[in-house]
Amino acid sequence: LKSVFRIRHAESLEDVDPTLHVVKDEEVPLTDQGKAQLLNLGETWATRFASWEHVAVYLSPSKRVIESWEILSQYFPKPQTIEIDARIRNLNWGNTNIENRSQIEAERYKAGVLKYQFPGGDNSPEYVHKINQLVKKAVSNRKEETSPEHIVMVTHGFPLRIIARYLLHVSDAEFKWLRNPPNGYCLEITYNIANDRFVTTTPLLRMKPLH
């Protein structure tokens, strides 16, 4: 294994209209702007991707993620192994709506984003545990010749941060200051086989400096 490359889906209809409720979360499509973002992203990284071999891809089942990969995949070499895994789906905020969102957000940050139980939605510790299980499985043979050289995970903002937390051993105290990445954001984490350590080569976005 050489790297784990994580991508947040491009701009979707929900990003333009966060009050959107007429479409199920997993059916939210990309916007035209989102599609343009991906073409630009692919062109920017095309030379780098072209040198890759044996790429393992993990996708959230959401339409906006699958559409993102359909556009990006043309820039990646073949063959690819592709898995759609619900463990890296979008976080389910349950009964959250326009009227109670600010209250839910206040309660969530008071309890801790890694500990909060959304009314009618996800239990955060369980959600995080499932993502950790997937990442652990994906990198389990990282020292072996059978390991893919590169792992690509296309997902949403919160699971993207959870994946980084697991691989980079980010503390809970530091995690709360990680900022939700923008649409089309890429984070590359390289693997050093000599000391069995993952290291980020692109910066983690933070709401404030560590020191």
pLDDT for 102-156, tens place per residue?
Answer: 899 999 999 999 999 999 999 999 999 999 999 999 999 999 999 999 999 999 9
24 or 172, greater pLDDT? 172
Q: How far apart are CA 5 and CA 188, in angstroms?
A: 4
- Pick the more confident residue, 37 or 207: 37
Neighbours of 203 (CB within 10 A): 7
Q: What is the pLDDT of residues 58-102, one digit of tens each?
A: 999 999 999 999 999 999 988 789 999 999 999 999 988 888 888
Pair 155, 88: CB distance under 8 Å: yes
Alpha carbon 47 to its chain centroid, in Å, reads: 23
Read off the pTM.
0.92
What is the rounded CA–CA span in Å between residue 204 and residue 194? 23
Decide if pLDDT at 31 tops 80: yes
What is the secondary structure of 134-159 as a DSSP string?
Answer: HHHHHTTTTTSTTS-SEEEEEE-HHH
As a whole number, the mean pLDDT across the chain is: 91
pLDDT of 208 reads 59
User: Rounded mean pLDDT of 173-179?
Assistant: 88
